[in-house]
Structure 1
């Protein structure tokens, strides 16, 4: 993969690394959402998901284990998207805001699928 691929991978990975670090430093809003969605052991679930985002994001940025890292990030993105951005429960501007984030996460999911399916 050339320089463009490296830059693209690093840019994609940066979203996950930053979010994971933010959630590790300030887990309470995410824990509240997980608790509201009746996720078992929400504190632990948030720590694990945040650690996966930082670890897999870093490996992705470095180009190491691309299939494993893209799969791990994609799997973690599903509950994050559904629990974190339930636009269907909102109205007005909040609905638009959550729908935008939901769609952004779908785009990230698509990018992970595309990158993970590439052959070296």
Structure 2
């Protein structure tokens, strides 16, 4: 693997590893959002999603099964984005902030799709 691919994968993975660890250590705000979105078994859903973020993020950072890791992260990003950043339900500054986070996640999703389709 080239140095640039390694650095790119590690940088992309870093946000997932950081957020996954954060959600495992302090799950309540994410669980509350999942409950509000009527996610079934929100405690378990948050633990599973956080574990995927840490595990697949680490694999992606190390370049181990990068396509599988990228696909797992992209898949986990869909509910995270919809539940976590519902800008369509917000007004004013909060709407702008949530829309920015939603679009950031779409950009990450695009990068993960790219990673998943290339070696």
Bin for the TM-score computed over the shorter chain = over 0.9
2:97 maps to what in 1? 97
TM-score by length of 1: 0.97
1:52 shift after superposition:
0.5
Task: Please list every run of 5 or more consecutive structure 1 residues that lacks an aligned counterpart in the other structure.
Answer: none
TM-score by length of 2: 0.98
1:70 shift after superposition:
0.6
2:47 matches 1:8: no
Aligned length: 119
Structure 2: how far apart are the matches of 1:83 and 1:38? 9
2:41 matches 1:46: no
2:85 matches 1:85: yes
1:67 shift after superposition:
1.3
Extract structure 1 runs of 4+ deviating beyond 3 A: none
Cα-Cα RMSD: 0.6
- Give CA deviations for 1:59-91 in whole Å, capped at 9, x if unaligned: 000001111101100000000000000000001
Task: Please list every run of 5 or more consecutive structure 2 residues that lacks an aligned counterpart in the other structure.
Answer: none
1:28 maps to what in 2? 28
2:119 matches 1:107: no
Structure 2: how far apart are the matches of 1:95 and 1:5? 35
- Give CA deviations for 1:8-37 in whole Å, capped at 9, x if unaligned: 100000000000000001100000011111
Give the 3-state SS of the residue equivalent to 1:61 in structure 2: helix
Give the 3-state SS of the residue equivalent to 1:50 in structure 2: helix
